């Protein structure tokens, strides 16, 4: 019998999507940028960001010379901004410790900021041809179905992935497993009749491919409320920078308060007019911003800044804050 990797690679060679970071000899830096962007994010969303990022920072050294604000600006709208900060920190560390060249070794990769077992496995195998495994959401689903495992147990899935990855073309093999999960072995209605692994699939043999892996019930997301004041003076609005750590660190926002009974300190304002709520879902919580517009009357703005809506594009903003800006344009 043909090894599973042979079947999968033959399929990948004819069916793989043409993606900008794929090539016969991928640049390790391109692999790093694409893998970090693809965490929690769809391919179609990532493609334009990937092009803009490489246009601005063609090499890892260019990225290491960037400012954090510029990197956050380029990342705006992609979400999970700690990825952007970690990516820049990783570039700086590679320049400082590895002569500007990404290491090929799993342990050295894991010591870089923001690089976990998945990303290290992807870089080692795809960029350097090392026999390293990886498990992401797509791979986990494919492995569960092939082996008829009802629950995703990470240690078990990693062991399986490690036992399957071949010495020849390990990077393509990993990409192929992910590609299979993204295109054929999809969460709902897997396309088993055209799957290259259909004869090896224990779930298909038992007719249970639609029930595997078992859906895990997610607990309801806690709701976090914020109150945002779009404070206006002529055609300019008051904005402030978020603290250097925590969610949306270093990004800018309209004046936003964590409690309803406060008004922004040290400024006098006209009676606020309610514009409405903005909802923003993250993996583990839902934010609800209640947005008000009001006029600035007097007071000290401290380190905050005045900006027109047009000039806002010079500042990195989170998605909900961008939506608030959109509300104000209308």
Number of residues that bind ligand SF4 (CB under 6 A): 15
Kindly state the smallest distance separating residue 180's Cβ from ligand SF4, in Å.
7
Write the binding mask 169 to 188 for ligand SF4: x where contact by CB under 6 A, - elsewhere.
---------------xx---
Kindly state the smallest distance separating residue 132's Cβ from ligand SF4, in Å.
22
**Per the structure block, which two tokens stand in for 147?**
């082996």
- Determine whether 240 is an active site residue: no
Cβ atoms of 256 and 226 within 8 Å: the answer is yes
Kindly state the smallest distance separating residue 172's Cβ from ligand SF4, in Å.
18
Q: Which of 110, 198, 280, 319 binds ligand SF4 (CB under 6 A)?
A: 198
Q: CB neighbours of 307 closer than 8 A, spacing ≥ 6?
A: 236, 237, 239, 314, 315
Q: Which of 203, 256, 318, 321 binds ligand SF4 (CB under 6 A)?
A: 203
Residue 209 contacts ligand SF4 per CB under 6 A: yes
Residue 213 contacts ligand SF4 per CB under 6 A: no
* Cβ distance to ligand SF4 smaller for residue 63 or 195: 195
Residue 204 contacts ligand SF4 per CB under 6 A: yes
Q: Which of 145, 169, 226, 304 binds ligand SF4 (CB under 6 A)?
A: 145
**35, 162, 262, 293: the active-site residue:** 35
Cβ atoms of 321 and 252 within 8 Å: the answer is yes
Residue 15 contacts ligand SF4 per CB under 6 A: no
How far CA 72 is from CA of 4, 227, 286, in Å, comes to 42, 24, 22
Helix (H, G, I), strand (E, B) or coil at 178: helix
Q: CB neighbours of 310 closer than 8 A, spacing ≥ 6?
A: none
Helix (H, G, I), strand (E, B) or coil at 240: strand
* Cβ distance to ligand SF4 smaller for residue 100 or 137: 137
Kindly state the smallest distance separating residue 131's Cβ from ligand SF4, in Å.
22
Residue 146 contacts ligand SF4 per CB under 6 A: yes
Which of 34, 100, 32, 112 is closest to 65 using CA atoms? Answer: 100
Residues 150 and 262: their CA atoms lie apart, in Å, by: 49
Kindly state the smallest distance separating residue 9's Cβ from ligand SF4, in Å.
15
Burial of 94 (0-12, 13-18, 19+ CB in 10 A): buried
How far CA 221 is from CA of 73, 125, 191, 283, 287, in Å, comes to 28, 36, 32, 8, 10
Stretch that binds ligand SF4, among 43-51, 55-63, 189-197, 230-238 (CB under 6 A): 189-197
Residue 327 contacts ligand SF4 per CB under 6 A: no
How far CA 253 is from CA of 43, 105, 187, in Å, comes to 28, 40, 36
Q: Check residue 207 and give left, alpha or beta (phi > 0: left; psi -120 to 50: alpha).
A: left
Residue 195 contacts ligand SF4 per CB under 6 A: yes
Kindly state the smallest distance separating residue 212's Cβ from ligand SF4, in Å.
8
* Look-up of token digits 């006209």: 270
Q: Which residues are designated catalytic?
A: 35
Which parts of this chain interact with ligand SF4 (CB under 6 A)? 142, 145-146, 184-185, 190-192, 195, 197-198, 201, 203-204, 209
């Amino acid at each position: 019998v043909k090894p599973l990797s042979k079947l999968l690679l033959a399929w990948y060679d004819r069916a793989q999507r043409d993606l900008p970071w794929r090539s016969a000899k991928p640049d390790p830096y391109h692999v790093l940028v694409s893998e970090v962007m693809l965490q929690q994010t769809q391919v179609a969303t990532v493609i334009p960001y990937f092009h803009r990022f490489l246009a601005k920072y063609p090499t890892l050294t260019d990225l290491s010379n960037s400012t954090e604000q510029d990197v956050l600006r380029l990342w705006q709208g992609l979400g999970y901004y700690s990825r952007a900060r970690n990516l820049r920190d990783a570039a700086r560390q590679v320049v400082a410790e590895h002569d500007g060249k990404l290491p090929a070794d799993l342990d050295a990769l894991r010591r870089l900021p923001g690089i976990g077992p998945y990303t290290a496995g992807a870089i080692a195998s795809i960029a350097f041809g090392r026999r390293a495994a990886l498990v992401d959401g797509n791979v986990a689903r494919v492995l569960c179905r092939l082996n008829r495992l009802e629950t995703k147990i990470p240690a078990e899935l990693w062991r399986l992935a490690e036992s399957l990855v071949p010495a020849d073309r390990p990077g393509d093999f990993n990409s192929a497993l992910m590609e299979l999960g993204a295109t054929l072995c999809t969460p709902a209605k897997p396309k088993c009749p055209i799957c290259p692994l259909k004869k090896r699939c224990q779930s298909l043999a038992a007719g249970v491919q639609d029930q595997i892996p078992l859906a895990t019930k997610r607990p309801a997301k806690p709701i976090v409320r914020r109150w945002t004041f779009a404070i206006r003076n002529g055609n300019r609005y008051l904005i402030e920078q978020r603290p250097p750590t925590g969610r949306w660190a270093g990004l800018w926002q309209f004046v936003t308060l964590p409690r309803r009974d406060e008004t922004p300190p040290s400024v006098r304002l006209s009676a606020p007019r309610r514009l409405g709520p903005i909802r923003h879902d993250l993996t583990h919580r839902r934010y609800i911003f209640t947005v008000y517009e009001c006029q600035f009357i007097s007071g000290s703005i401290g380190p905050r800044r005045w900006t027109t809506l047009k000039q806002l594009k010079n500042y990195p903003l989170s998605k909900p804050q961008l939506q608030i800006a959109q509300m104000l344009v209308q």
